[in-house]
Amino acid sequence: MPELPEVETIVQGLKTTLSQQKIEQVRIYDSKLAKMLAGKQITGKRIVNIRRRGKYIIFELNEGLNLIVHLRMSGRLLYQQNERKPLRWVRAVIKLDNGLLVFQDRRRLGVMELSRSDDLNCRLGVEPLSPEFDSDYLGQKLAAGKRPIKVFLMDQAIIAGIGNIYAQEILFAAGIHPRRQALSLGDNEIERLGEAIRNVLRLAIRHQGTTVSDFQNADGTEGNFQNLLKIYGREKEPCLICQTPIKRIKQQGRTTYFCEQCQK
């Protein structure tokens, strides 16, 4: 599933190109999306801005409308200047006055909906790269957390945008075991964790996200951060720090990789 760095990469790729473009036509090829957008009219609206909130892409339209897209497991948004040969798994095509925005989704799990309010703020926690995310906020939330720290990091109501891959990379960078109870972290560990969150996410954005399966940028290119992953997907390989073989466990049905020597 695209996480914060992948979604930010897509937003950055689309923002300059799509800003101020007019929506001339919307073609829906999936009954699920048709139901989500039933009775809603965005033809004729103009894209005023594109931004990210957590893992959501928000197209701000004129007249106070927001078109909200969540890519889920396998969704892609691709920008094309001209109609090309048919693509697989296309769920919707938005024709603009200068190009097309194509929504591909192999598993049909992605969401596309319209809203007149920014109700995402009610559902999502603080952005981890915002000034509001500091040691005080993190410490306050951790103090009430009895769950494993990896599960805590993936709670979108606390920190918006972190998923399975980056939670593991963050915990490795911070030297914290993924099974540790969130409330067990001391002050120094909280500082390390906050720094690791910011550093890992910023580095991943600079490298245009991680492609291990479906992720592509809006121009069809893949990310590069998979070449810099230090822990994810490296079971039985030597730890890059201590050479101990990397272990794998399951947490809430998700695979977790960690080093038992470096992460305490």
**Other C-beta atoms lying within 10 Å of the C-beta of residue 125:** 19
Q: State the DSSP string of the chain.
A: ---HHHHHHHHHHHHHHHTT-BEEEEEE--HHHHHHTTT---TT-BEEEEEEETTEEEEEEGGG-EEEEE-TTTEEEEEESS--SPPTTEEEEEEETTEEEEEEETTS--EEEEESS-THHHH--B-TTSTT-SHHHHHHHHHT--SBHHHHHT-TTTBSS--HHHHHHHHHHHT--TTSBGGG--HHHHHHHHHHHHHHHHHHHHTT---SSS---TTS---SGGGG-SSTT-TTSBPTTT-PBPEEEEETTEEEEE-TTT--
* Catalytic annotation, residues: 2-3, 55, 254
For 121, the token pair is 């703020």
Integer-rounded Cα Rg, in Å, for the chain is 20
Q: How far is CA 214 from the centre of its chain?
A: 13
End-to-end CA distance of the chain: 27
By CB atoms closer than 10 A (0-12, 13-18, 19+), residue 63 is exposed
